[in-house]
A and B are shown apart, each in its own frame.
Chain A
Amino acid sequence: MPAPIRLRELIRTIRTARTQAEEREMIQKECAAIRSSFREEDNTYRCRNVAKLLYMHMLGYPAHFGQLECLKLIASQKFTDKRIGYLGAMLLLDERQDVHLLMTNCIKNDLNHSTQYVQGLALCTLGCMGSSEMCRDLAGEVEKLLKTSNSYLRKKAALCAVHVIRKVPELMEMFLPATKNLLNEKNHGVLHTSVVLLTEMCERSPDMLAHFRKLVPQLVRILKNLIMSGYSPEHDVSGISDPFLQVRILRLLRILGRNDDDSSEAMNDILAQVATNTETSKNVGNAILYETVLTIMDIKSESGLRVLAINILGRFLLNNDKNIRYVALTSLLKTVQTDHNAVQRHRSTIVDCLKDLDVSIKRRAMELSFALVNGNNVRGMMKELLYFLDSCEPEFKADCASGIFLAAEKYAPSKRWHIDTIMRVLTTAGSYVRDDAVPNLIQLITNSVEMHAYTVQRLYKAILGDYSQQPLVQVASWCIGEYGDLLVSGQCEEEEPIQVTEDEVLDILESILISNMSASVTRGYALTAIMKLSTRFTCTVNRIKKVVSIYGSSIDVELQQRAVEYNALFKKYDHMRSNTNPSVTVITIQASNSTELDMTDFVFQAAVPKTFQLQLLSPSSSVIPAFNSGTITQVIKVLNPQKQQLRMRIKLTYNHKGSAMQDLAEVNNFPPQSWQ
């Protein structure tokens, strides 16, 4: 059997493949060769074969048949074998396969190996993929290595311990003694991973957290040394000493200082020092500053420190680096509720970020802007946000529109401003407004009684030119239907009233009905509006009847149903038409004559108190036939806006038996339903 090809040979071959199919063929061929080689139990070439397998695995091809081979490699005496074997185990195996348990013994042996790099491999593998059983078995070994003086092993053991604790939380206690001296280390790698271990333990257990609070002074000291120490080339990154370690320590301090006054006080000074002394021209400095800000905001720091932190964030907003601006906005968003006033000071910078090129920065700036709107700045802020709504990407428009509606509702300085703002949103981003906004807006408009004329006029003008934005058209249709009478009567106080005829109004509504751009819901609104206008308009009722009857045979079932019902209203209930106004009570009187002679020239008159208005419609006739053989019916409409109890004085005049008769009476016993 020829020697299996080398890894680089395989890679070179695969790179010559011109199609996916060709590559697949090559891979399959090689896999077959590898399988036969495995079957031959060849020790020399096993590592080479597994390496190739891992390469193919990275490209997405199955490699499970190599799992057992990895175990054999791990058991080998050669470092090369172990190295690729452990890598293979980490990439191909997990605790769901029983095979992995076979590793436990090898790892145990390797944790005690004479070569530190082998021990390192074992720690690495255990720390990556050790199952709960493995962790239970080997925790003791890890704990031992946590106490070794070899810093290479100690730092790996610390991270391995974190993994063990994650898998088997009950074992946390076991590592407690070893943590005693961890922070006394000089080696930064060990310090770093020790802080990670301490952080994990504090996050998992409140008892541990309480226990480790006593480390705060020591942590503060270490941090101080890092800042104050002179130039130390081994740890230096852009003039800052080990920024990664500083960030880790700051994070642990955050966890320790949270909700604890004493700890927070102990770290106040160092936080202020880091905040003011850190060089900000490079990214590493900013990473430290950012972590400092987060810590200050999370612990019980004094207000001066908090203001300092927010000002740092404000400075970040002006930084050229977009990443810095992004994290600043994220943090400000988190603190805007608790430190509202401090964040307000940076409002103009935040609003400028609305014009940023970066989409995620824009989004955060938008959310933050909405959080900052209050009664004092609402006019200015809305101007900026409306401008943003105009120019932003479509994915923002719905949220921005909703945000503006909410803010306007909360802080509108005047009703007119409120309506204007709504109008602006509807006309700018009318098609992005959420569906549930339409009924809310209608409710709002209904409640602004004195603005009805203005609103309907503006809405009418808005849809005249363009009726494609559905939410706008829906709100406009509803308003025209409800307040169409105000529109044509030309009474508008807020601005120059326009001259509109009833026909022009019906023109626009009919256009909406026919337009292809109108959604079904919109058509429903338009049809209902037309119908409502039949009680508000006086000259065009016939036209309305015609339109409604046409839609009685519309394909759209919803429209058809409406039209048919409206038609019925026209036919059967015409006399009640103006009773769509609930303040109007309709009374039908019937007069009958039981005498043996007719009553002629019968006139019914009625009078009502001042707060009422009366309308008498024509009676059915002026003759009441004798012997109860017929009746006169007459409809009286009473307008009762103040809903007072209805009282009426009535006068009947008629001719009977040749003489003029007159009857007067007072009616006070109208049923309450008629006037309530």
Chain B
Amino acid sequence: MINAVLVFNNHGKPRLVRFYQHLAEEVQQQLIRETFHLVLKRDEHICNFLECGSLFGGADYKLIYRHYATLYFVFCVDSSESELGILDLIQVFVETLDKCFENVCELDLIFHMDKVHYVLQEVVIGGMVLETNMNEIVAQVEAQSKLEKAEGGLSAAPSRAVSAVKNINLPEIPRNINIGDINIKVPSLSQFM
């Protein structure tokens, strides 16, 4: 089971916080801070698995994390999840975000926190992995975005010039992402600011 999904930047500022057990706000913030400190200490040579001891309450919880430029993606899991599998899942999540936001960068996560949650919701439900096929996830997220747009979106205001620009059919720009390549280094994500 996945206990928590945390995304924060190199200074510890949270960009996405999702706990799958209910915790008081102060506890949540403390966990974010401590996780950040644990993860910050890690060298490049060290493996991506951290035993966090009793930090999250359980004795067998592990932190599995990946560092992409300015962002840390951290999954807290128990022993029922495969460590290597979760590493792959983080990659899937990140590549999916990349597809949904078109060359995602930190600013996208900052200004569209709700959308990031929606993407995560199509990957993980209640701490369990729901879907791992990137194209499926992207399709479902986009279908729901369309529904929202038809209703006027979150801003509940009529379409403005900005959103009109977004709807223009721009010519297809070939992207450098290798669809089948889930490898540790993803060059296309170097645009994290």
Distance (whole angstroms) from the CB of A628 to the closest CB of chain B = 81
Inter-subunit contact A193/B130 (CB<8 Å): yes
- A47 pairs with B125, CB closer than 8 A: no
Q: Are B82 and A287 in contact (CB under 8 A)?
A: yes
- B89/A283 in contact, CB under 8 A: no
Closest Cβ of chain A: how far from B174's Cβ, in Å? 18
Say how far A233's CB is from chain B's closest CB, in angstroms.
Answer: 8
Whether A327 lies near B125 (C-beta < 8 A) is no
- B172 close to chain A: CB less than 8 A: no
Q: Which of B20, B46, B85, B143 contacts A117 (CB 8 A)?
A: B143
Contact between B144 and A83 (Cβ–Cβ < 8 Å)? yes
Closest 7 CB pairs of A and B: A94-B22, A287-B84, A244-B132, A357-B45, A127-B126, A60-B29, A326-B47
A384–B43 Cα distance when bound, in Å, is 26
Cα A291 to Cα B81 with chains together (Å): 10
User: Interface code A343-362, partner B: CB below 8 Å = 1, 0 otherwise?
Assistant: 00000000000000111110
Given contacts A127-B125, A287-B87, 5 further A-B contacts (CB under 8 A): A189-B136, A237-B182, A283-B88, A291-B85, A321-B184
Is there an interface contact between A237 and B113, defined as CB atoms closer than 8 Å? no
A159: interface (CB < 8 Å): yes
Instruction: Flag if A358 contacts B182 (CB, 8 Å).
Output: no
A242-B132 in contact (CB<8A): yes
- Listed in ascending order, the chain A residues whose CB lies under 8 Å from chain B are 6-8, 11, 15, 44-45, 47-48, 51, 54-55, 57-63, 78-80, 83-84, 87, 91, 94-96, 115, 117, 123-124, 127-129, 152, 155-156, 159-160, 162-163, 188-189, 192-193, 196, 233-239, 242-245, 247, 251, 282-284, 286-287, 290-291, 321-327, 357-361
Residues of A close to B113: CB separation below 8 A: 54-55, 58
Instruction: Name A12's closest neighbour in chain B (CB-CB).
Output: B111
Tell me whether A189 and B46 are in contact in the complex, defined as CB-CB below 8 angstroms, given that A127-B125, A283-B88 are known contacts: no
Question: Which parts of B109-144 form the interface with A (CB within 8 Å)?
Answer: 110-111, 113-114, 117-118, 121, 125-133, 135-136, 140, 143-144
| Also in contact, A238 and B182, with CB within 8 A (given A79-B151, A80-B153) | yes
> Looking at A117, A188, A244, which has the most chain B CB atoms within 10 Å of its CB?
A244
Cβ of A376 to closest chain B Cβ, rounded Å? 32
Q: A83-B118, A84-B154, A284-B88 are in contact. Are A247 and B82 (CB under 8 A)?
A: yes
Query: Can you name 22 A-B pairs with beta carbons within 8 Å?
Result: A51-B114, A51-B154, A54-B113, A55-B113, A80-B153, A83-B118, A87-B117, A87-B121, A124-B125, A127-B128, A155-B131, A159-B125, A159-B126, A160-B125, A162-B128, A234-B135, A238-B181, A244-B129, A247-B85, A283-B183, A321-B184, A323-B47
Contact between chains at A80 and B88 (CB < 8 Å):
no
Q: Specify the chain B residue showing the minimal Cβ separation from A245.
A: B132
Do the beta carbons of A7 and B154 come within 8 Å of each other?
yes
**Which residues on A sit within 8 Å (CB–CB) of B20?**
128
Pairwise interchain contact A44-B156, C-beta atoms closer than 8 A: yes
Q: Which of B126, B155, B182 contacts A283 (CB 8 A)?
A: B182
Q: Is there a chain A Cβ closer than 8 Å to B49's Cβ? A: yes
A353 to B114: give the CA distance in the assembly, Å. Answer: 44
Is A327 a contact of B144 with CB atoms below 8 Å?
A: no
Answer yes or no: B51 CB below 8 A from chain A CBs. yes
Q: Which residues of B contact A91 (CB under 8 A)?
A: 18
A634 to B144, CA, bound (A): 110
**Minimum C-beta distance from A245 to chain B (A):** 8
Band of interface residues on B:
35 or more
A58 x B49 contact (CB < 8 A)? no
Interface centre among B43, B84, B118 (most CB of A within 10 A): B84
When each residue 68-101 of chain B gets 1 if its CB lies under 8 Å from chain A and 0 otherwise, what string results? 0000000000000011110111000000000000
Identify the closest chain B residue to A118 (Cβ): B147
Chain B residues, CB < 8 A from A243: 85, 88
CA–CA, A14 to B99, complex, Å?
A: 28
- Bound CA span A2–B114, Å: 24
B180 within 8 A of A: yes
Interface of chain A, main secondary structure: helix
Q: How far is the CB of A436 from chain B (nearest CB, A)?
A: 24
Residues of A within 8 A of B18 (CB): 91
- Per-residue contact bits, chain B 21-62, to A (CB 8 Å; 1 contact, 0 not): 010010011000000000000010111111100000000000
Q: Are B82 and A80 in contact (CB under 8 A)?
A: no
Partner of B121, one of A45, A47, A124: A124
Residues of A within 8 A of B180 (CB): 233, 236-239
Quick one: which of A80, A124, A233, A238 contacts B152, CB cutoff 8 A?
A80
- Partner among A51, A196, A234, A323 whose Cβ is within 8 Å of the Cβ of B129: A196
Q: B105: which A residues are within 8 A, CB to CB?
A: none
Q: Give the chain B neighbours of A54 by CB distance below 8 A.
A: 113-114
With the chains together, A160 CA to B113 CA distance in Å?
24
Distance of A57 Cα from B118 Cα, bound (Å):
17
B25 touches A322 (CB 8 A): no
A152 to B141, CA, bound (A): 12
Min distance, Cβ B144 to any Cβ of chain A, angstroms: 5
B17 at the A/B interface (Cβ < 8 Å)? Answer: yes
Are B125 and A128 in touch, CB under 8 angstroms?
yes
Question: How long is the Cα–Cα vector from A242 to B28 in the complex, in angstroms?
Answer: 34
- Of A83, A159, A239, A326, the residue contacting B49 (CB under 8 A) is A326
* Contact yes or no, B147 A323, CB < 8 A: no
Question: Shortest beta-carbon distance, B73 to chain A, in Å?
Answer: 15
Contact B154 A117 (CB under 8 A): no
- Asked if B126 contacts A58 (CB within 8 A), the reply is no
Q: Considering the chains assembled together, what is the distance between the CA atoms of A44 and B158 in angstroms?
A: 12
Q: Are A360 and B49 in contact (CB under 8 A)?
A: yes
Whether the Cβ atoms of A156 and B154 lie closer than 8 Å is: no
Set of chain B residues within 8 Å of A235, measured between Cβ atoms: 133
Considering the chains assembled together, what is the distance between the CA atoms of A357 and B154 in angstroms? 49
Could you tell me the distance in whole angstroms from the C-beta of B103 to the nearest C-beta in chain A?
A: 19
Q: Tell me the minimal C-beta distance from B126 to chain A in angstroms.
A: 4
Which residues of the other chain, B, contact A196 by a CB distance below 8 angstroms? Answer: 128-129
Contacts A47-B154, A238-B181, A282-B182; is A358 near B136 (CB within 8 Å)?
Answer: no
